[in-house]
């Protein structure tokens, strides 16, 4: 299973274009200079602001609390979307009738010229109209509606939505925890034949110094508590008090895009949580307004600019900031195959121009932070970690997630095993730069270079809930390694075969690779004597199960012992 990617922000599928080699080489220099200027200046600002940040963090903070009531203000932002409103507002009225409570609907008309305001007055008088004299774009337009809202929960909607009847009832039912910031709905596309580029179940992952955020595919049956990396600004409910405490959507991102991701990241950093509610459903005409009005190229440029701004505003891990600068030319040129070098460079320069404004916000966010970047990515992108963070251990049979590249699983009583087979690797020659520094041994390059294999493992670890992770095979372990942290997941590795290269350089590469891959596993088992002896020679500190003479270990009988151990890290 692979993650769902947005591709073009305007909704078109990505189309690869050739970037001339000479143009690419020339573009490396300005991308590198701009990236290192942004990173170095940002870290210098962090250094200067550290005394004030530490002083602010030492001050007592009021305890978190849930909303006093579950009454909601539904705020719809509209600009020249009369046709959209004719479909949205009847469905919104039905959703209001199906949800118990004292709710209100607010339509913010963002300076429309197509008669949208007259439509609301004449056909939907039950909705409160907030007419604006000019277009204030997304963030400031939504703020105008929030200023007149009077309920404890804010539900923000795009005008190009159609709500299902239980949308509001299911969304509001989640607001019972003091640290809950937002709940985001499931998104379905209006055209069922179109590729599903949105689901509402959002994730984000580090990749070559960058932050890649996606809509993850839905499972046939979702677990009870599914975290979301961000709550979409057009299909989510927010705790109003917490929303205002964070300052709402930042006008730095005007006219649109990424402001909801930035606000959600600030909420996670503040110590709050965001949930995905699959029972709350909206149907969306994907970016129906922005693409039609601004044009696809402008939309893409704004999206890229705001992603740079988000990173420099929100990410405070110094190593990650430096890695972002190091890989920025590579990441930008890879995207330029679809968007063009000129667009990528202009977006980066536009972000640099707004950087001082991002720093002011960054300093305030650092002072309010209760989580670091690594904790956020762990909690927001893993059902397993999120459940354990809440102190809820699974009952009944042991739930085992098996990631495997080889062999069939063994059954055992008292164990519920979900098997995720990892796709076979493609030819390593098809992606010669996938191993950026040449550290991956030849035996593993094909599968590790395959994005389908990587996405399969990433999605399985993010979306499945389990008590124990069983990984079979070194290739599976290497694919899982970036998502396991440093031992906070109860993980067991079964090693059935190891490479045995004769060349000195390749053997050294294999040994260093194995030591890194094996680090996060709580226990390592080797059914064969030769593999166990080879790992013992590699390092006596590896957590091998049993003595060298113990072979053909019956794995299921050992699962309970692994679970009873206190987590490391």
For residue range 489-519, list pLDDT tens digits in order: 888 888 888 877 777 777 888 888 888 888 8
- For residues 356-368, one letter each, b for 16 or more C-beta atoms within 10 angstroms of the residue's C-beta and e for the rest, the string is eebbebbbbbbeb
Name the strands in the sheet holding 491-494, side by side, starting at the edge strand that comes first in the sequence. 415-421, 398-404, 468-472, 491-494, 523-525
Tokens of 529: 């004597």
Kindly report which listed range (90-104, 234-248, 427-441) carries the lowest average pLDDT score: 427-441
Query: Is residue 291 predicted with pLDDT exceeding 60?
Result: no
Tokens of 165: 């009847």
Alpha-carbon distance values, 467 to 222, 395, 437, 489 (Å) = 16, 9, 35, 9
| Whole-angstrom distance, CA of residue 209 vs CA of residue 197 | 24
Query: Is residue 558 predicted with pLDDT exceeding 70?
Result: no
Q: Which residue has the higher pLDDT, 501 or 126?
A: 126
| Whole-angstrom distance, CA of residue 220 vs CA of residue 235 | 22
Pair 400, 415: CB distance under 8 Å: yes
Query: Is residue 431 predicted with pLDDT exceeding 90?
Result: no
The average pLDDT across 316-341 equals 90
pLDDT for res 443: 77
Mean pLDDT, the chain, rounded, equals: 85
pLDDT for res 436: 53
DSSP E strand boundaries for 116-179: 128-132, 153-158, 161-163
| Whole-angstrom distance, CA of residue 167 vs CA of residue 88 | 12
Q: List the domains of the chain with CATH numbers.
A: 72-379 (3.90.550.10), 393-564 (3.40.50)
pLDDT for res 228: 97
* C-beta neighbour count of 551 within 10 angstroms: 15
- pLDDT per position as a tens digit, 301-313: 999 999 999 999 9
pLDDT band, very low/low/confident/very high, at 18 (cuts 50, 70, 90): low
pLDDT for res 242: 97
pLDDT band, very low/low/confident/very high, at 298 (cuts 50, 70, 90): confident
Tokens of 395: 């009952």
The average pLDDT across 439-467 equals 86
Percent of the chain topping pLDDT 70: 84
Tokens of 506: 């390749």
Of 50-59, 284-293, 442-451, where does the model show the most confidence? 50-59
Alpha-carbon distance values, 206 to 253, 321, 327 (Å) = 22, 12, 12
Q: Collect all residues with Cβ–Cβ distance below 8 Å to 410 and sequence separation of at least 6.
A: 555, 556
pLDDT for res 562: 60
Query: Is residue 438 predicted with pLDDT exceeding 70?
Result: no
| Whole-angstrom distance, CA of residue 276 vs CA of residue 227 | 6
Pair 82, 116: CB distance under 8 Å: yes
Query: Is residue 478 predicted with pLDDT exceeding 50?
Result: yes
The average pLDDT across 455-467 equals 91
Best CA proximity match to 411, nearest among 562, 556, 528, 565? 556
Alpha-carbon distance values, 107 to 118, 243, 251, 289, 537 (Å) = 12, 19, 20, 16, 69
Q: Collect all residues with Cβ–Cβ distance below 8 Å to 29 and sequence separation of at least 6.
A: none
pLDDT for res 568: 42
Query: Is residue 153 predicted with pLDDT exceeding 80?
Result: yes
pLDDT band, very low/low/confident/very high, at 435 (cuts 50, 70, 90): low
Query: Is residue 288 predicted with pLDDT exceeding 60?
Result: no
pLDDT band, very low/low/confident/very high, at 299 (cuts 50, 70, 90): confident
Query: Is residue 564 predicted with pLDDT exceeding 90?
Result: no
The β-bridge partners of 130 are 108
pLDDT band, very low/low/confident/very high, at 9 (cuts 50, 70, 90): very low
pLDDT band, very low/low/confident/very high, at 280 (cuts 50, 70, 90): very high
By three-state DSSP, how is residue 455 classified?
Answer: helix
The average pLDDT across 224-244 equals 95
pLDDT for res 432: 45
| Whole-angstrom distance, CA of residue 463 vs CA of residue 479 | 16
Q: How far apart are the first and last CA of the chain?
A: 29
Task: Provide the sign of the torsion angle of the four alpha carbons 309, 315, 318, 322, taken in this order.
Answer: negative
Pair 40, 318: CB distance under 8 Å: no
pLDDT band, very low/low/confident/very high, at 90 (cuts 50, 70, 90): very high
pLDDT for res 462: 93
pLDDT for res 19: 57
| Whole-angstrom distance, CA of residue 158 vs CA of residue 566 | 46
* C-beta neighbour count of 246 within 10 angstroms: 21
| Whole-angstrom distance, CA of residue 275 vs CA of residue 450 | 31
| Whole-angstrom distance, CA of residue 103 vs CA of residue 171 | 13
pLDDT for res 440: 78
By three-state DSSP, how is residue 360 classified?
Answer: helix
pLDDT band, very low/low/confident/very high, at 11 (cuts 50, 70, 90): very low
Q: Which residue has the higher pLDDT, 333 or 8?
A: 333
pLDDT for res 8: 40
Best CA proximity match to 174, nearest among 275, 73, 281? 275
Tokens of 65: 């609390």
Pair 137, 122: CB distance under 8 Å: no
| Whole-angstrom distance, CA of residue 115 vs CA of residue 85 | 11
pLDDT for res 294: 64
| Whole-angstrom distance, CA of residue 331 vs CA of residue 208 | 8
Query: Is residue 245 predicted with pLDDT exceeding 90?
Result: yes
pTM attached to this predicted model: 0.89
The average pLDDT across 103-129 equals 94
pLDDT for res 510: 82
pLDDT for res 534: 83
Q: Which residue has the higher pLDDT, 239 or 290?
A: 239
Query: Is residue 427 predicted with pLDDT exceeding 60?
Result: no
The average pLDDT across 399-413 equals 75
The average pLDDT across 148-165 equals 95
pLDDT band, very low/low/confident/very high, at 122 (cuts 50, 70, 90): very high
H helix runs in 187-239, sequence order: none
pLDDT for res 428: 46
């Amino acid at each position: 299973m692979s993650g769902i990617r947005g591709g073009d922000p305007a909704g078109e599928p990505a189309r690869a274009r050739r970037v001339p080699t000479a143009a690419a080489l020339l573009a490396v220099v300005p991308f590198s200079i701009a990236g290192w200027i942004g990173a170095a200046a940002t870290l210098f600002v962090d250094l200067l602001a550290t005394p004030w940040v530490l002083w602010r963090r030492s001050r007592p903070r009021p305890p978190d609390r849930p909303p006093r009531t579950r009454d909601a203000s539904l705020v719809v932002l509209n600009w020249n979307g009369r046709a959209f409103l004719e479909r949205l507002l009847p469905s919104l009225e039905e959703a209001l009738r199906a949800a118990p409570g004292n709710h209100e609907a607010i339509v913010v008309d963002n300076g429309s010229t197509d008669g949208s305001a007259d439509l609301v007055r004449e056909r939907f008088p039950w909705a409160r109209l907030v007419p604006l004299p000019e277009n204030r774009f997304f963030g400031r337009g939504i703020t105008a509606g929030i200023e007149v809202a009077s309920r404890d929960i804010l539900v923000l909607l795009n005008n190009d939505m159609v709500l299902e009847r239980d949308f509001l009832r299911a969304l509001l039912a989640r607001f019972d925890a003091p640290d809950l910031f937002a709940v985001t709905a499931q998104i379905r596309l209006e055209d069922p034949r179109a590729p599903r580029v949105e689901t509402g179940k959002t994730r984000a992952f580090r990749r070559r110094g960058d932050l890649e955020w996606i809509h993850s595919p839905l499972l046939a049956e979702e677990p009870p508590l599914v975290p979301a990396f961000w709550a979409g600004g057009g299909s989510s409910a927010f705790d109003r008090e917490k929303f205002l405490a964070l300052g709402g959507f930042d006008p730095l991102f005007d006219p649109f895009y990424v402001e909801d991701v930035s606000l959600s990241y600030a909420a996670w950093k503040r110590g709050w949580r965001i949930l995905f509610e699959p029972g709350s459903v909206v149907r969306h005409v994907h970016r129906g307004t922005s693409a039609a009005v601004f044009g696809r190229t402008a939309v893409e440029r704004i999206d890229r600019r705001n992603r740079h701004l988000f990173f420099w505003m929100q990410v405070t891990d110094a190593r990650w900031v430096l890695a972002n600068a190091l890989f920025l030319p590579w990441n930008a040129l890879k995207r330029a195959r679809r968007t063009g070098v000129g667009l990528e460079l202009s977006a980066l320069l536009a972000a640099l121009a707004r950087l001082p404004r991002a720093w002011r916000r960054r300093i305030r966010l650092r002072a309010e932070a209760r989580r670091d970047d690594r904790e956020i990515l762990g909690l927001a992108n893993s059902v397993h970690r999120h459940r354990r963070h809440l102190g809820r251990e699974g009952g009944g049979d042991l739930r085992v997630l098996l990631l495997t590249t080889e062999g069939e699983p063994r059954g055992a009583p008292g164990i519920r095993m979900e098997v995720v087979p990892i796709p076979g690797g493609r030819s390593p020659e098809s992606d010669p730069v996938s191993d950026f520094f040449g550290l991956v041994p030849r035996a593993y390059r094909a599968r590790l270079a395959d994005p389908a294999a990587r996405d399969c493992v990433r999605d399985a670890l993010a979306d499945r809930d389990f008590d124990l992770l069983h990984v079979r095979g070194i290739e599976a372990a290497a694919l899982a390694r970036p998502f396991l942290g440093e031992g906070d997941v109860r993980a067991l590795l079964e090693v059935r075969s190891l490479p045995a290269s004769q060349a000195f350089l390749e053997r050294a590469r294999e040994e260093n690779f194995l030591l890194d891959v094996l680090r996060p596993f709580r226990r390592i088992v080797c059914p064969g004597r030769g593999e166990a002896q080879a790992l013992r020679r590699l390092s006596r500190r590896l957590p091998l199960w049993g003595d060298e003479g113990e072979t053909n270990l019956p794995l299921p009988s050992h699962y309970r012992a692994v679970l009873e151990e206190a987590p490391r890290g």
